[in-house]
Structure 1
Amino acid sequence: MSSFQEIPVIDITDLGSDDAEKHKAVVAAIRDAAENVGFLTVTGHGIPQETIDGLLSETKKFFALPEEEKMKAYIGNSTNHRGYVPEGEEVFASGSKDMKEAFDLSVDLPADDPDYVAGNPMLGPNQWPEGRPEFKEKVMAYYNAAFELGQRLTRGFSEALGLEPEALDKYFEKPPSQLRLIHYPYNPDAPEDRPGIGSHTDYEAFTLLLPTAPGLEVMNDEGEWIDAPPVPGGIVINIGDMMEVWSNGLFTATSHRVRKVKEERYSFPLFYSCGYWTVVEPLPQFVDEDHPPAYEPVTAGEHLHAQTVQTFTYLKDRLARGEITLPENSRALSSFGQEAKRKAS
């Protein structure tokens, strides 16, 4: 990692192009960003503006509803972590409550899906607001488009790691990849040090983020917080915990946060996840006598679930009542990224 001062912008139009040299140039740029920053903004991603506009329009309509109406789809009503997240529900490692509200969803599996029936805590059907069919239609249109982009980027990251394009595909079967619709209302009376969202790394392989306004900050290896402003037509990509493990630390899950916003802000992260039962450990290509495994194997879905339980108030309450348990060998919050490395040193 380097003491970067800005987030690189990469046009991925030629990722997967028949022009081998142009394709290789994009892969090289992705590798450089993944190694030295852990964040990049991609343009030329191919998601239609109409799809983005539909997502934003329906999101604004939903969050403008009265609180009691939104709470009918409260995430605490679900058994697989889907639905409305009121302000203050999430508390990260810093201990401060977030100033935001959200709506969480994932791949919309049927109610008779065997994993859901068996009690999987992250797979199954979405919980949708009643009487709002356009919300479901527009949100899932964006989910599907962003997920397809995630599949494309997976192959780009695979090549950036020096692997064959399809080498990582097998790790992404039936992934609980979550899309969050997040609303940060502007509060002029909030303390300056009150976070919109606390410092953290993302628990999955990587994240695709569509923001509408500034606020995102990224930590460099000197512990400095660097602004990551939106780029017109761009989607922010950041390395997650699982990519850090695969690369044995070559790619770092960069710590990030959202500061108190100066304007109303919406953001849409899709957390591109491995399959729930995928065991993630340093790949053989990154392990030798000089570079022993720096990470114990981790089951991707269990890591995601454990981090989620330690963040959401309704799940912490269920844990305290003995209704759920943490997976064995669960890691504490902020166990990856620069903050974890700085603490260890």
Structure 2
Amino acid sequence: MPSTIDLNQSDPVTGDADSFVPVIDARKLFNPADETLINTVRTACLETGFFYIQPIPVQEQIVDNTLHQMKTFFAIDDTDSRKTDMQQVDGRRGWQPKFTEPAYQPGTIASVEAYDFGSSEVTSGGSYWPTIEGFQSDVTACWNMNLQIADRILEIIAQAAGIETDFLKVRCQKRTTTSMRLLHYADDALEYAESNVGISAHTDFECITLIFQNAPGLELRTIDGRWLDAESGTGRIIVMLDDMLERWTNGHFKATGHRVRQTDEQRFSIVMFVAVDNTYTIAPLQEFVTDAAPALYAPTSQEKHIENEIRRSRENAELS
């Protein structure tokens, strides 16, 4: 993965990702993958590290319903939000107040607030869910939609990498660490100190990430180090490559560096982190290891990698 140190928070944006990134029609995802689609994804993985999916109308409606619920939830008084505060639940799921997001870069503070949940919350419900009419059902529908899309993307990325079609998908099936985050960035962010950012530059810890944003703010780093503005307001889903995929391919496919800048526009973002099941050890596959390209990464597990990265971010927070 790119070292966090290399993901310079202050590097300028040099363009718009829409000019460089392919857009894949979601209807084509669920047809037998042809070489054109596989080649498109392969090129995106090698040249940019991310690509877009254009949802079909029923998927767009699911996203719209979730956005409506998010706007309702993040508008309620903190006293009500705290009933689902993750620190009062299990430390990993529920509402996360503003300024408590990990500091991926030293000297930064994130101005985002979030609502986090995973598969156990979807199946069991309970105190994790706000008592807002339709919230659980609408958000669960978005969870299920994202998983369906993610499973197909994992198959196509595997084909693009030249490994077994189901290699990635079967290793991300138990969903024990997969999570979805509903993120809110207030429209008063520019009033904060310069050290306060939307989210500081980092790569995601899992296998792939799916992102929807309704307003500008997300910036993506290409393989060659350029920072580009991600699309917004079109309904497209952004697909990013994550740390575990980079480890498996020994750096052949690189994790996507990204950050969120402060804006004066209220922003909502739906993010699905598709994680590897904790029963698997992640290490470079032999297909990507040669005398000229020795293994770059030591074996690890998804949970261990997340724990290490969170520990590092907490150390960064102490420097902020």
Shorter chain as denominator, the TM-score bin is: 0.7 to 0.9
Taking a change above 3 Å as real, the CA distance of residues 154 and 242 of structure 1, as seen in their structure-2 partners, is: same
Query: SS of the residue aligned with 2:150?
Result: helix
Report if the CA contact (8 A) 1:194-1:259 is conserved: no
Give the C-alpha shift of residue 85 in structure 1. Answer: 0.4
Q: 2:286 aligns with which of 265, 284, 287?
A: 284
Alpha carbons of 1:133 and 1:215: their partners in 2 closer, same or farther (altered >3 Å)? Answer: same
* Greater Cα offset, 143-152 or 223-232: 223-232
CA distance in 1, matches of 2:66, 2:280: 30
The amino acid across from 1:230 in the alignment is S
In structure 1, distance between residues paired with 2:57 and 2:45: 21
1:194 aligns with 2:196: yes
Q: Which amino acid aligns with 1:92?
A: A
Distance in 1 separating the partners of 2:110 and 2:14: 27
1:48 & 1:85 partners in 2: Cα distance? Answer: 27
Greater RCO, CA 8 A, separation 6+: 2
Note if contact 1:205-1:243 (Cα within 8 Å) is conserved in structure 2: yes
Cα–Cα, structure 1 residues 92 and 245, in superposed 2: closer, same or farther, change >3 Å? Answer: same
Return the offset for 1:47. Answer: 5.5
Distance, in Å, in 2 between the alignment partners of 1:311 and 1:127 is: 28
SS in 2 for 1:232: coil
Partners of 1:133 and 1:308 lie apart in 2 by 33
Q: Does 1:166 align with 2:166?
A: yes
State the partner residue of 2:78: 67
Select which of 52, 58, 81 maps to 2:69.
58
Aligned to 2:40: 29
1:191-246 Cα offsets, whole Å, 9 max, x none, are 45631111110000010001101111122355442211226131000000001001
DSSP-derived class of the 2:28 partner: coil
Q: How big is the shift at 1:283?
A: 1.1
Length-normalised TM-score, structure 2:
0.85
TM-score, structure 1 length as denominator? 0.79
1:39 aligns with 2:41: no
CA distance in 2, matches of 1:92, 1:223: 21
Q: Distance in 1 between matches of 2:28 and 2:298?
A: 36
5+ long unaligned stretches in structure 1? 112-123, 318-345
Do the aligned residues in 2 keep the contact of 1:107 with 1:125 (CA within 8 Å)?
no
In 1, the alpha carbon distance for the partners of 2:48 and 2:196 equals: 25
Which letter does structure 1 place at the counterpart of 2:297?
A: Y
Tell me which stretches of 4 or more aligned residues in structure 1 moved more than 6 Å: none
Match of 1:324 in 2: none
What corresponds to 1:107 in structure 2?
A: 119
On the 8 A contact 1:10/1:30 being kept in 2, the answer is no
What do residues 100-134 of structure 1 show as CA deviations (whole Å, max 9, x unaligned)? Answer: 110000113599xxxxxxxxxxxx86742443251
The 1:46/1:287 distance shift into structure 2, 3 A limit, reads farther
Alpha-carbon separation, structure 2, partners of 1:50 and 1:222: 36
Q: Cα RMSD between the aligned structures?
A: 2.7
What is the alpha-carbon distance in structure 1 between the residues aligned to residue 21 and residue 169 of structure 2? Answer: 26
**Displacement of 1:291:** 1.2
Task: Report what 1:225 is aligned to.
Answer: 227
The 2-side partners of 1:197 and 1:228 are apart by 14
2: CA distance, partners of 1:125 / 1:289: 50
Moved more, 285-294 or 198-207: 285-294
Secondary structure of the residue aligned to 1:14 is helix
Residue 168 of structure 1 aligns to a residue whose secondary structure is helix
Q: Which letter maps to 1:184?
A: Y
For residue 80 of structure 1, report the CA deviation from its aligned partner.
Answer: 5.8
Query: Is structure 2 residue 183 aligned with structure 1 residue 182?
Result: yes
Asked whether 1:90 is paired with 2:104, we answer no
2:208 — aligned with what? 206
- Is 1:8 aligned with 2:9? no
